[in-house]
Structure 1
Protein backbone atom coordinates (compact mmCIF):
# COMPACT_ATOMS: atom_id res chain seq x y z
CA UNK A 1 0.00 0.00 0.00
CA UNK A 2 1.38 3.36 -1.01
CA UNK A 3 1.22 5.63 2.04
CA UNK A 4 2.38 8.62 0.10
CA UNK A 5 -1.09 9.21 -1.35
CA UNK A 6 -3.06 8.27 1.72
CA UNK A 7 -5.07 11.17 3.21
CA UNK A 8 -4.90 11.46 6.96
CA UNK A 9 -7.26 13.59 9.01
CA UNK A 10 -5.69 16.95 9.67
CA UNK A 11 -5.11 18.23 13.16
CA UNK A 12 -7.53 21.17 13.53
CA UNK A 13 -6.95 22.01 17.15
CA UNK A 14 -7.09 25.78 17.70
CA UNK A 15 -9.00 26.57 14.50
CA UNK A 16 -12.07 27.68 16.44
CA UNK A 17 -10.00 30.22 18.36
CA UNK A 18 -8.52 31.62 15.16
CA UNK A 19 -11.96 31.88 13.55
CA UNK A 20 -13.34 33.58 16.67
CA UNK A 21 -10.50 36.11 16.66
CA UNK A 22 -11.43 37.09 13.11
CA UNK A 23 -15.21 36.94 13.41
CA UNK A 24 -15.70 38.74 16.75
CA UNK A 25 -14.19 42.12 15.77
CA UNK A 26 -16.11 42.07 12.49
CA UNK A 27 -19.33 41.28 14.31
CA UNK A 28 -18.73 44.10 16.82
CA UNK A 29 -17.91 46.53 14.02
CA UNK A 30 -21.13 45.59 12.25
CA UNK A 31 -23.11 46.02 15.48
CA UNK A 32 -21.56 49.45 16.09
CA UNK A 33 -22.37 50.47 12.51
CA UNK A 34 -26.02 49.56 13.11
CA UNK A 35 -26.05 51.63 16.31
CA UNK A 36 -24.40 54.53 14.43
CA UNK A 37 -27.06 54.43 11.72
CA UNK A 38 -29.85 54.34 14.34
CA UNK A 39 -28.31 57.34 16.12
CA UNK A 40 -28.03 59.25 12.84
CA UNK A 41 -31.65 58.45 12.03
CA UNK A 42 -32.77 59.66 15.47
CA UNK A 43 -30.76 62.88 15.11
CA UNK A 44 -32.34 63.48 11.70
CA UNK A 45 -35.82 63.04 13.14
CA UNK A 46 -35.05 65.46 15.98
CA UNK A 47 -33.74 68.04 13.52
CA UNK A 48 -36.84 67.64 11.36
CA UNK A 49 -39.17 68.03 14.36
CA UNK A 50 -37.34 71.17 15.50
CA UNK A 51 -37.48 72.65 11.99
CA UNK A 52 -41.22 71.92 11.78
CA UNK A 53 -41.86 73.64 15.13
CA UNK A 54 -39.81 76.65 14.05
CA UNK A 55 -41.65 76.81 10.74
CA UNK A 56 -45.02 76.82 12.50
CA UNK A 57 -43.88 79.87 14.48
CA UNK A 58 -42.27 81.65 11.52
CA UNK A 59 -45.22 81.23 9.16
CA UNK A 60 -47.85 82.38 11.68
CA UNK A 61 -49.80 85.54 10.86
CA UNK A 62 -47.56 87.84 12.93
CA UNK A 63 -44.54 85.54 13.03
CA UNK A 64 -40.95 86.43 12.23
CA UNK A 65 -37.93 84.49 11.06
CA UNK A 66 -36.09 85.27 14.30
CA UNK A 67 -39.00 83.87 16.34
CA UNK A 68 -38.94 80.72 14.22
CA UNK A 69 -35.19 80.35 14.73
CA UNK A 70 -35.57 80.86 18.49
CA UNK A 71 -38.29 78.19 18.78
CA UNK A 72 -36.12 75.81 16.73
CA UNK A 73 -33.16 76.38 19.07
CA UNK A 74 -35.38 75.80 22.11
CA UNK A 75 -36.62 72.49 20.73
CA UNK A 76 -33.06 71.45 19.88
CA UNK A 77 -31.93 72.35 23.40
CA UNK A 78 -34.66 70.14 24.84
CA UNK A 79 -34.31 67.15 22.51
CA UNK A 80 -30.93 67.09 20.87
CA UNK A 81 -28.46 67.14 23.75
CA UNK A 82 -27.27 63.61 22.93
CA UNK A 83 -27.73 62.52 19.32
CA UNK A 84 -27.20 65.84 17.50
CA UNK A 85 -24.03 67.89 17.78
CA UNK A 86 -22.97 71.28 16.46
CA UNK A 87 -26.49 72.18 15.35
CA UNK A 88 -26.93 75.41 13.46
CA UNK A 89 -30.26 77.01 12.62
CA UNK A 90 -31.15 79.31 9.73
CA UNK A 91 -34.62 80.77 9.26
CA UNK A 92 -36.07 82.99 6.57
CA UNK A 93 -39.38 84.62 5.83
CA UNK A 94 -40.67 86.83 3.05
CA UNK A 95 -44.16 87.94 2.02
CA UNK A 96 -45.02 84.56 0.48
CA UNK A 97 -43.14 81.83 2.34
CA UNK A 98 -41.10 80.90 5.39
CA UNK A 99 -38.38 78.31 5.84
CA UNK A 100 -36.24 76.86 8.63
CA UNK A 101 -33.08 74.82 8.09
CA UNK A 102 -31.13 72.80 10.66
CA UNK A 103 -27.59 71.48 10.05
CA UNK A 104 -25.46 69.39 12.39
CA UNK A 105 -23.69 66.09 12.83
CA UNK A 106 -24.78 62.88 14.50
CA UNK A 107 -22.90 61.88 17.63
CA UNK A 108 -20.20 59.47 16.46
CA UNK A 109 -20.08 55.89 17.72
CA UNK A 110 -17.44 54.84 15.20
CA UNK A 111 -14.45 57.19 15.42
CA UNK A 112 -13.84 57.33 11.67
CA UNK A 113 -17.44 58.07 10.69
CA UNK A 114 -19.02 61.52 10.92
CA UNK A 115 -22.54 61.61 9.50
CA UNK A 116 -24.09 64.97 8.59
CA UNK A 117 -27.65 65.80 9.60
CA UNK A 118 -29.78 68.14 7.51
CA UNK A 119 -33.44 69.04 7.92
CA UNK A 120 -35.49 71.69 6.20
CA UNK A 121 -39.08 72.80 6.54
CA UNK A 122 -40.78 75.35 4.30
CA UNK A 123 -44.30 76.54 3.75
CA UNK A 124 -46.49 79.49 2.81
CA UNK A 125 -47.01 82.38 5.19
CA UNK A 126 -50.44 82.63 6.79
CA UNK A 127 -52.36 85.68 5.60
CA UNK A 128 -55.60 87.11 6.82
CA UNK A 129 -58.00 87.77 4.03
CA UNK A 130 -61.26 89.46 5.00
CA UNK A 131 -64.51 88.10 3.69
CA UNK A 132 -65.60 90.78 1.23
CA UNK A 133 -68.69 88.90 0.10
CA UNK A 134 -70.48 89.92 3.28
CA UNK A 135 -71.03 86.42 4.67
Structure 2
Protein backbone atom coordinates (compact mmCIF):
# COMPACT_ATOMS: atom_id res chain seq x y z
CA UNK A 1 0.00 0.00 0.00
CA UNK A 2 2.76 2.50 0.82
CA UNK A 3 4.53 1.92 -2.52
CA UNK A 4 1.29 2.66 -4.37
CA UNK A 5 0.80 5.81 -2.30
CA UNK A 6 4.34 6.97 -3.01
CA UNK A 7 3.73 6.61 -6.76
CA UNK A 8 0.13 7.84 -6.89
CA UNK A 9 0.50 11.00 -4.77
CA UNK A 10 3.04 12.80 -6.99
CA UNK A 11 1.08 11.83 -10.10
CA UNK A 12 -2.13 13.15 -8.57
CA UNK A 13 -0.40 16.41 -7.63
CA UNK A 14 1.04 16.74 -11.14
CA UNK A 15 -2.40 16.25 -12.69
CA UNK A 16 -3.82 18.85 -10.30
CA UNK A 17 -1.08 21.34 -11.20
CA UNK A 18 -1.67 20.74 -14.92
CA UNK A 19 -5.38 21.46 -14.48
CA UNK A 20 -4.55 24.72 -12.68
CA UNK A 21 -1.97 25.59 -15.36
CA UNK A 22 -4.38 25.15 -18.25
CA UNK A 23 -7.06 27.09 -16.36
CA UNK A 24 -4.63 29.99 -15.96
CA UNK A 25 -3.73 29.76 -19.65
CA UNK A 26 -7.41 29.88 -20.60
CA UNK A 27 -8.00 32.91 -18.39
CA UNK A 28 -4.93 34.67 -19.82
CA UNK A 29 -6.21 33.96 -23.34
CA UNK A 30 -9.57 35.53 -22.47
CA UNK A 31 -7.81 38.60 -21.03
CA UNK A 32 -5.74 38.97 -24.20
CA UNK A 33 -8.81 38.62 -26.42
CA UNK A 34 -10.69 41.24 -24.40
CA UNK A 35 -7.73 43.62 -24.71
CA UNK A 36 -7.45 42.99 -28.46
CA UNK A 37 -11.17 43.68 -28.90
CA UNK A 38 -10.96 46.88 -26.84
CA UNK A 39 -7.90 48.05 -28.78
CA UNK A 40 -9.64 47.35 -32.08
CA UNK A 41 -12.79 49.17 -31.00
CA UNK A 42 -10.76 52.26 -30.09
CA UNK A 43 -8.58 52.17 -33.23
CA UNK A 44 -11.36 51.74 -35.77
CA UNK A 45 -13.35 54.82 -34.70
CA UNK A 46 -13.52 57.56 -37.34
CA UNK A 47 -10.33 59.67 -37.17
CA UNK A 48 -8.80 57.56 -34.37
CA UNK A 49 -5.17 56.45 -34.32
CA UNK A 50 -3.29 53.24 -33.62
CA UNK A 51 -1.89 54.91 -30.50
CA UNK A 52 -5.42 55.34 -29.13
CA UNK A 53 -6.07 51.64 -29.73
CA UNK A 54 -2.80 50.74 -27.99
CA UNK A 55 -3.73 52.93 -25.03
CA UNK A 56 -7.21 51.38 -24.76
CA UNK A 57 -5.83 47.82 -24.78
CA UNK A 58 -3.10 48.71 -22.31
CA UNK A 59 -5.43 50.43 -19.87
CA UNK A 60 -7.85 47.47 -19.97
CA UNK A 61 -5.03 45.07 -19.13
CA UNK A 62 -3.84 47.40 -16.35
CA UNK A 63 -7.32 47.52 -14.84
CA UNK A 64 -7.79 43.74 -15.05
CA UNK A 65 -4.35 43.04 -13.61
CA UNK A 66 -1.35 41.38 -15.15
CA UNK A 67 -0.80 38.54 -12.68
CA UNK A 68 -2.20 35.93 -15.08
CA UNK A 69 -0.81 37.34 -18.33
CA UNK A 70 2.90 38.25 -18.33
CA UNK A 71 5.46 39.44 -20.89
CA UNK A 72 2.70 41.35 -22.66
CA UNK A 73 3.19 42.82 -26.12
CA UNK A 74 0.52 45.02 -27.69
CA UNK A 75 0.57 45.78 -31.42
CA UNK A 76 -2.16 47.94 -32.95
CA UNK A 77 -2.16 48.89 -36.64
CA UNK A 78 -4.51 51.18 -38.52
CA UNK A 79 -4.59 52.26 -42.13
CA UNK A 80 -7.31 53.85 -44.25
CA UNK A 81 -9.37 50.67 -44.58
CA UNK A 82 -8.49 48.23 -41.79
CA UNK A 83 -7.56 48.29 -38.11
CA UNK A 84 -6.09 45.37 -36.20
CA UNK A 85 -4.89 44.62 -32.68
CA UNK A 86 -2.63 41.77 -31.58
CA UNK A 87 -1.81 40.85 -28.00
CA UNK A 88 0.88 38.32 -27.13
CA UNK A 89 2.31 37.16 -23.84
CA UNK A 90 2.73 34.18 -21.56
CA UNK A 91 0.42 32.60 -19.03
CA UNK A 92 1.69 32.57 -15.46
CA UNK A 93 3.46 29.28 -14.83
CA UNK A 94 2.65 27.01 -11.88
CA UNK A 95 4.29 23.94 -13.41
CA UNK A 96 8.07 24.45 -13.49
CA UNK A 97 9.37 24.63 -17.04
CA UNK A 98 5.93 24.92 -18.67
CA UNK A 99 5.56 28.39 -20.23
CA UNK A 100 2.43 28.54 -22.38
CA UNK A 101 2.22 31.31 -25.00
CA UNK A 102 -0.90 33.44 -25.29
CA UNK A 103 -1.98 35.09 -28.54
CA UNK A 104 -5.11 37.03 -29.44
CA UNK A 105 -6.01 39.13 -32.45
CA UNK A 106 -8.90 41.21 -33.67
CA UNK A 107 -9.34 43.12 -36.91
CA UNK A 108 -12.06 45.02 -38.67
CA UNK A 109 -12.85 47.82 -41.09
CA UNK A 110 -12.26 51.43 -40.14
CA UNK A 111 -15.40 53.49 -39.64
CA UNK A 112 -16.13 55.98 -42.39
CA UNK A 113 -18.46 58.92 -42.56
CA UNK A 114 -20.55 58.64 -45.72
CA UNK A 115 -22.26 61.80 -46.89
CA UNK A 116 -26.03 61.66 -46.96
CA UNK A 117 -27.71 61.29 -50.34
CA UNK A 118 -30.10 64.20 -51.00
CA UNK A 119 -33.71 63.10 -50.73
CA UNK A 120 -32.91 59.81 -48.96
CA UNK A 121 -34.58 58.97 -45.65
CA UNK A 122 -33.71 56.36 -43.04
CA UNK A 123 -30.25 55.71 -44.35
CA UNK A 124 -31.35 55.41 -47.95
CA UNK A 125 -34.02 52.77 -47.36
CA UNK A 126 -37.05 53.13 -49.58
CA UNK A 127 -40.64 52.68 -48.45
Verify same fold: TM over 0.5.
yes
Distance between the aligned counterparts of 2:33 and 2:119, measured in 1? Answer: 41
| Deviation of 1:111 (Å) | 0.9
Distance between the aligned counterparts of 1:134 and 1:95, measured in 2? Answer: 29
Q: Which runs of 5+ in 2 are unaligned?
A: 121-127
| Kept in 2: contact 1:46–1:80 (CA 8 A) | no
Q: Structure 2 residue aligned with 1:42, among 27, 43, 46?
A: 27
Within 5 Å, give how 1:89-104 maps onto structure 2.
89-104=74-89
> Which stretches of structure 1, 4 residues or longer, exceed 3 Å deviation after superposition?
none
Instruction: With the length of structure 1 as denominator, give the TM-score of the two structures.
Output: 0.86
Question: Which residue of structure 1 lines up, in the alignment, with residue 123 of structure 2?
Answer: none
Within 5 Å, give how 1:1-135 maps onto structure 2.
16-135=1-120
Deviation string, structure 1 residues 69-126 (Cα, Å, up to 9, x no partner): 0110101111132110010100000010000100100000001100000000100000
Q: Which runs of 5+ in 1 are unaligned?
A: 1-15
- Provide the alpha-carbon RMSD of the alignment: 0.8
| Deviation of 1:132 (Å) | 1.6
| Kept in 2: contact 1:59–1:97 (CA 8 A) | yes
Q: Which structure has the bigger radius of gyration?
A: 1
